[in-house]
Structure 1
């Protein structure tokens, strides 16, 4: 089984980034069980939010659609959905965030800049594609625009990108973004980094887990693609950090051990983005018209519906979603739902009956 050529200890001395957020501590260190950690998540989230909104706002946030693809309903809506459709559709989107540091230097962060072409070779999706006839696949998958195409449209040069951030590294192949140290047979050479200055901001916990994957994790990672990625391409962080005015990375473990969420302070309040859930209504399922969600939430006494393709630590993921729920402000379009922007958002399709979302954000846009 191909793996990282370096262990997590090899990145200990790499430079890190941001200002640590003392308000959000490691919930795993909270005395007691997962219920005690859930209560702590609510308290810490409220405390952090009060501090966070005083840090300012970024200059701009722009949404860029990358790909719409099928995803198993039993994963995306966990045990709650009563839809007859085995698959739903999700749209993976990139956010482009720009701000100025206190010294006046401009910064560009790409959140979820997936290399859609290479992401197809993730074991789970690769096997799914092999079982799906081409004519059906063309109906189920829509590629919208590439990362570089979006940057060109926005007038951002690739060399101006400072940071690359994912909520977790499922499906991600980073070689074209940050380059490699050796020839890559499948890429026809040794690729020069297309984002030459960009560093990948990632939790040390995820790097540690990827160094030796568990069988529950293997369908979702491409560890062999990291074999020749230089360790210096990463900016490993531990916990939650403030990156810039109104821009924070909050550790939200559970979906993977080193999961993290992007938190933004915009003109409409606080937004949170991750793939912990696939629809805003999964944070307030009592208001959902999706078949089964409201009833399931009521009968089981669970206030959120997880994106559960990878059950690494389910109780921790639940607690992390409640933390995200505590941070996000109500939507100005419909206050029953929160300003939670799924990095892969549930998207209605006629081929997937019973999976049309009650409410969708589709874009997250901010200009200061």
Structure 2
């Protein structure tokens, strides 16, 4: 399937931000994944002080979007002994604002998912078909839409500069960035809801989406990218500082072009991605969920992955160690880290044995 950016120069577009030299060079590390693991840990330690010195953004606000079921075998990969086949996760958007050195104000939306269209992703569409409507409604809670949250915060859509996702699983961006031709399912050619926003995405993911592997296909909607404007994308490589206390870091594994939002705030450094679904998955020895602490002792693995695609599992493990090393400890409970899952494990009566030991629920900075 031909995507919008094929036969264009979108893959060769200039990138933005300031390159993070301390995190360059992973692909050139000699040896196997064990050597790369030590590289990730060492380089993350070196970059922490450098990142803190960039300053802080003006504000970070958390907006709940939707709580929905997700397979336990994916979210708590191999570690859980819960009988419940599903966990509940809450998808959240972060609204990040900062001021450039020249006085320009910037607005970045992290994980502004259009969940109404996201449910057409093959895996979730099949799950929806198998679940009776009343049960589906009982297990799903819609908290608010992207545009409603922005209106509440007093942010006009045309003031949004960047849209950032940790990866493009389930994402249908047509309503956000518009289309260049009519869309049969949406009633015509779409004007962009965010006319001035660029989608910041790792170049690797754009390239991978052009020819999906069978393991990837259940989680993407490539047909929705045929008629989106190529110039709405900003292809980046690796790690970049975008603004004071705001960075994007390549964290491959969950998908080929996975990336993490890094924030320096009044409580220290945070990372947000979907590499794990709970903060306790980075310090599983402190988890009270059935099986988690025992699993980490038995197998001497210090993190529990969110592993639905398992594109490159060892890379994802290393990426989560990178995130674990970059962030600070929670001021609420120092056993846990300031890792904020973009889809966070949420307690539910329907999923016994999957109630998290600790949740952040929000990431706030003013």
Cα distance per residue 1:315-365 (max 9 Å; x no partner): 000000000000110000000000000000000000000000000000000
Match of 2:127 in 1: 128
Deviation at 1:9, TM superposition (A): 7.0
Secondary structure of residue in 1 paired with 2:204: helix
Name which of structure 1's ranges 20-29 and 187-196 shifts more when overlaid on structure 2.
20-29
Residue number in structure 2 paired with 1:67 = 66
Ranges in structure 2 where 5+ consecutive residues have no aligned partner: none
Deviation of the 1:11 alpha carbon = 1.6
Q: Is the 8 A contact 2:54 2:244 kept in 1?
A: yes
Q: C-alpha displacement at 1:8, in angstroms?
A: 8.3
Following superposition, the deviation at residue 46 of structure 1 comes to 0.6
- Answer yes or no: is the 8 Å Cα contact 1:8–1:204 preserved in 2: no
Contact 2:289 2:353 in 1 (8 A): yes
Provide the rounded CA distance (Å) in 2 between the counterparts of 1:179 and 1:211.
Answer: 20
Moved over 6 A (4+): none
- Residues 73-121 of structure 1: CA distance to partner in whole angstroms, max 9, x if unpaired? 0000000000000000000000000000010100000000000100000
Matched-pair contact (CA < 8 Å) for 2:8–2:230: no
Whether contact under 8 Å (2:253, 2:313) holds in the other structure is: yes
Aligned equivalent of 2:157: 158
1:25 to partner: Cα distance: 1.4
Give runs of aligned pairs for residues 344-355 of structure 1, distance below 5 A: 344-355=343-354
1:258-300 Cα distance to aligned partner (Å, 9 max, x none) = 0000000000000000000000000000000010000000100
* Local SS of the residue matching 2:185: helix
Distance 2:57 2:4 in 1: 37
- Counterparts of residues 26-45 of structure 1 (less than 5 Å): 26-45=25-44
Q: Which secondary structure state, in structure 2, belongs to the residue aligned with residue 186 of structure 1?
A: coil
Q: Does 1:180 align with 2:149?
A: no
1:248 corresponding residue in structure 2:
247
Mapping for residues 71-90 of structure 1, pairs under 5 Å? 71-90=70-89
| 1:17 paired to 2:20 | no
SS of residue paired to 1:209:
helix
Q: Is residue 3–residue 210 contact of structure 1 (8 Å, CA) maintained in 2?
A: no
SS of the residue corresponding to residue 341 of structure 1 reads coil
Structure 1 segment 49-64 matched on structure 2, within 5 A: 49-64=48-63
Residues 254 and 312 of structure 2 are in contact (CA less than 8 Å); yes or no, is this contact kept in structure 1? yes
Q: Residue 197 of structure 2 contacts residue 232 of structure 2 at CA under 8 Å; is this kept in 1?
A: yes
Cα RMSD between the aligned structures? 0.9
What's 2:208 paired with? 209
**1:14: how far off?**
2.0
What do the CA deviations read for 1:33-68 (whole angstroms, capped 9, x no partner)? Answer: 000000000111011111000000000000000000
In the alignment, what sits opposite 2:289?
290
* Structure 2 residue 190 is matched with structure 1 residue 197: no
Structure 2 CA distance, aligned partners of 1:244 and 1:293?
Answer: 37
CA distance in 1, matches of 2:155, 2:253: 34
SS in 2 for 1:311: coil
DSSP 3-state at the match of 1:225: helix
Residue 264, structure 1, aligned to residue 263, structure 2: yes
Contact 1:37-1:319 within 8 A present in 2 as well: yes
Q: Using the alignment, how far apart are the partners of 2:26 and 2:8 within structure 1?
A: 23
Measured in 1, the distance between the counterparts of 2:32 and 2:7 equals 28
**Distance in 1 of aligned mates of 2:282 and 2:327:** 10
Contact 2:269-2:327 at 8 Å conserved across structures: yes
- Give deviations 1:10-32, integer Å, cap 9, x for gaps: 32332321111000014221011
Give the corresponding residue for 1:149.
148
Q: Who is 1:111 aligned against?
A: 110
Q: Deviations over 1:197-239 (max 9, x none)?
A: 0000000000010000000000000000000011101000000
Note the alpha carbon deviations across 1:244-271, whole angstroms, 9 max, x for none.
0000001000000100000000000000
Q: Following the alignment from structure 1 to structure 2, what is the Cα–Cα distance between the partners of residues 80 and 35? A: 21
1:364 equivalent in structure 2: 363
Q: Structure 2 length as normaliser, TM-score?
A: 0.99
TM-score of the aligned structures, taking structure 1 as reference length = 0.98
